[in-house]
Structure 1
C-alpha cells in the first residue's frame, strides 16, 4: 500500500510541477492526491503548503534579475506579506477539522474559478488602471489579502497575486511576475515554519512531493511549454469543477 501511495504522490508531483511551469493550478493535483493517500484534509493542506515552498523559492531566485531595480518596493512589501501569511496560518491552525472539511469543496471551486477567469481578469485590471500606478495602499491591501489566502489554502495563489499586483502597478508582466514570485516565496517560508512546528504534517509525503515537483517543473519548462496553454488550462478547470462536485457530495 505504501508503494502505491508513494507512486501516486510522485505522479501528482510531476504533473503539478509541469502544470505550474505553464498554466498554474498544480495544488489542485497535489492536494486531492494527499487526500487520496489517506492524509486528513486539514493535515493535507498544511502538508501541501510546505511541499510547494521550495518551488516558490526556486521561482523567486530565477526572477532575481527583475527584482533588483524594485528593491524599495520589495522591501516595503515584506512586512505586509509576512503579517498576512502569519495571519493565514493562524487562521488555519484555529480551524477545526470538521469546519475545514466542509470548506474544502468551496475552496477548490474558488481556486478553479480563479483558474478560469485569471487571464481575463489580468487583461481587464491592467487596462483599468489607465497606465498609472494606483495608490501604494491598494498594492499592499491586494498583496496582503493574497498572502492571507495563500497561507490558508494554497491553490491558485499565483493567479491571485498576479491579478492584484497588475491592478495596482503599471509594469511589464515579467516584473509583475517577479514580485508575485517573491511574495509566494515569503508565503512558502512562513507556512513552512509555522506548519512545520505547529501543524500535523505528513513529512513522508513532503519528501516525495518536493523532488517530484522540481522534476515536473523542469520537464514542464522544457516540454509542456511547447503545448498550447489554453487546452491545459481548460483541462485543469474541468478537473477542478468535477473534483469540487465530488467533494461536495462525498
Structure 2
C-alpha cells in the first residue's frame, strides 16, 4: 500500500458514495479503481462487496420510517433475500479467476446499460402493474434474482431491486426504496460474512473505502443533489461503456 493507491481509493470512494446518493452506479467507480491499484478482478469484486455493505446498512436505517408500515412484508422477504445472497456468493466463490476475468466486461456492460435504462424501466413497470399488487410470487422471484445478482456482482443492484419491487407492488416510491434498502442490507451482511471468511479480500482497501464512501454519500446528499441527474447519468453511462470496452480488450 502506498500513497498513490490510498489517494486513488479515497477519490473513488468519495465519487462512488456521491453517485450512489444521487443516481446510483458507485460500484462502477470503486470496482475498477480496486483493479487499478493492483487487486485482481475476482478479489476486487469481493472486496468491493464488503466495502459497500456498511453504506447499505446505513441506507436501510435511514429509510426505517417508510419500512415500518411494511414490516410483515419485509419479514417475509428475509428468507428469499438470504437464500439468494448465499447462492450468489457461493457462485462467486466457486468461479475461477480466468472465468471471472472473461465475465467482467459483460457484467460491467450490463450494469452500465441498467444505468442507462433504469429510469425508463421504473416508469414502465410502475405503469404496467396498473395500480395493483402482483402475486407475491412475482415479488419474491424478482427479489431472489436481484439479490443473487447483487451478491455475485454488486454494480447496479439497487436499480434492479427498485425495478422488480416497483413492478410487483403498488406503493409510493419512498416505500419501494425502503424495501430495496432492506434487501440490499441483507445482501451486504451475507457477502461481508462469506467473503470475509472464505474469499481473498484486500482489507487495507476496505479500510480506505468504507469511510470514503460514507463521506461521499453525505456530500452527495447535500451537494451533488444540486447537479441535474440526467447529465450525471449520461456521464456515468459513457464512462461505463468505455470501461467495458477496455476490459473486453484486456480479456481477449
Structure 2, unmatched stretches of 5+, are: none
How far apart are residue 229 of structure 1 and its match?
0.5
Q: Is structure 2 residue 15 aligned with structure 1 residue 21?
A: no
Deviation at 1:174, TM superposition (A): 0.3
Structure 1 outlier segments of 4+, above 2 Å: none
Q: What does the per-residue CA deviation read over 1:76-127, in whole Å, with 9 as the maximum and x for residues that have no partner?
A: 0000000000000000000000000000000000000000000000000000
Structure 1 residue 37 displacement after superposition: 0.2
Match of 2:95 in 1: 95
**CA separation in 1, counterparts of 2:212 and 2:13?**
5
1:198 aligns with 2:198: yes
Tell me which residue corresponds to 2:235: 235
Scaled by the length of structure 1, the TM-score of the pair is: 0.99
Report the CA distance between 1:232 and its aligned residue: 0.5
Give the CA deviation at 1:239: 0.1
1:16-165 equivalences in 2 (<5 Å): 16-165=16-165
Could you say which residue in structure 2 is the equivalent of 1:187? 187
**Secondary structure, counterpart of 1:244 in structure 2:** helix
Question: What is the number of residues matched between the two proteins?
Answer: 250
Structure 2 distance, partners of 1:155, 1:73, is 25
Unaligned runs of 5+ in 1: none
Q: Report 1:167-182 matches (<5 A).
A: 167-182=167-182
Task: Please give the alpha-carbon distance, in whole angstroms, between the structure 1 residues aligned to 2:99 and 2:151.
Answer: 17
* SS, match of residue 25 in structure 1: coil
Bigger Cα displacement from structure 2, 1-10 vs 74-83? 1-10
Alpha-carbon offset, residue 75 of structure 1: 0.5
Deviations 1:39-82 (CA, angstroms, capped at 9, x unpaired): 00000000000000000000000000011110110000000000
Q: Secondary structure at the match of 1:134?
A: coil
Across the aligned residues of Structure 1 and Structure 2, the Cα RMSD in angstroms comes to 0.5
Cα distance in structure 1, aligned partners of 2:245 and 2:65: 42
Q: What are the equivalent positions in structure 2 for 1:216-231 lying under 5 Å apart? A: 216-231=216-231
* Cα separation, 1, equivalents of 2:193 and 2:118: 29
